[in-house]
Amino acid sequence: IIAYLMTTSGSAAMEVLYLAYKGDRVVSWSTACDSYGEFCGKAKVSLLFHFMSLLCFIVLSGASAYRVFSKFEAPKEVADENM
């Protein structure tokens, strides 16, 4: 669940940053980075850190799953004697 929350929050932040850079003519939303350049710089750094932490979370989850499942043996196949 945490991975989904991190992914969706990163996507939402990316959309806000995109709108800050490009704006949206359909709803008459002008660009914000022209007026608030410092905001856009901080938002880019924040988004970078967010996706770096998501990558670390995915790597740690994969390593944890590998360690848990490597403790168990694979199930043995049982021959069917009725055939």
pLDDT in tens, 51-66: 999 899 999 999 999 9
Reported pTM: 0.67
Q: How far apart are CA 71 and CA 47, in angstroms?
A: 37
Report angle CA 7, 19, 6 to the nearest 5 degrees.
10
User: Nearest to residue 8, comparing CAs of 40, 16, 70, 69?
Assistant: 16
Could you tell me the pLDDT band of residue 83, with boundaries at 50, 70 and 90? low
What's the pLDDT at 63? 94
Q: Which helix (H) or strand (E) holds 73?
A: none
Could you tell me the pLDDT band of residue 81, with boundaries at 50, 70 and 90? low
**Hey, what are 17's tokens?**
């940053």
The maximal CA–CA distance of the chain, rounded, in angstroms, is 78
Give the mean model confidence (pLDDT) for residues 17-34: 81
